[in-house]
Structure 1
Amino acid sequence: MGASMWPSAYGKATNTETIMKKWTGSAFTSNVIVPRDSFKVTKGTPRSYDVTGDSGKINKHFFCGDCGSSLYSELEIMSDKTGIKAGTLDGGEAHLRNKVDVEFYVKDRVHYLNALDNARQEPRLG
């Protein structure tokens, strides 16, 4: 990991496909959703920027000020949750045990990807 770190936390994994492809640099992102009050950065001071989401509410995206890696998000629409980029967890996405609970923004799914088995399918977030 880079200069910003936090303890590994486990929670709900989500796979989102949105116009936020610029934020993720990919057609999708895997996030671990945890209670916001249980999440704490233990090293470094991430930088952030705000964007307006599809809901019209603010999405605050945090990234490493040293290397630029996407770290986590705080969405106004989910004010009690933090979405941690699963690939930033120590040990990587293996902690998720290949379990994705829900796919958001399936309306924007790229044509070459299929729905994940046993994952709830939501057209958008919220």
Structure 2
Amino acid sequence: MPQQRSYYRLKFLDRKDFFLYIRVLIIYYPLFFMWLIPIVDLLFQIYMLMLFGRIISSWAPQLMQYRFMQFIAFYTDPYLNLFRKIIPPFGMVDISPILAFFSLNLLKDLIIFLIR
């Protein structure tokens, strides 16, 4: 006796299920990313505080002997150096942190806008 194959038919969503799926997607899709916005905002605020700490520590070079300040300098100096290439410091005045804060805030707002 030959063995019979059983073919499973794919059940497509009927019209009622399809509209229910679309309705749920429209309602809950924005809520899916809402938890991400405070996390992104917090990460940017932490980095801005690190930048602020690095700027303050540049006024007191003896602070660079501490491991915490070396950690901050390691992560913030490459970002600040990007802007120091654009606007080099003149005399004792360095305007690059202002540009760095402005662009970081602009980037944060852009990312949060794209998440929403």
Q: Shared fold by TM > 0.5? A: no
More helix by share: 2
Structure number with bigger Rg: 2
Q: TM-score range by the shorter chain?
A: under 0.3
Provide the TM-score with structure 1 as the length reference: 0.22
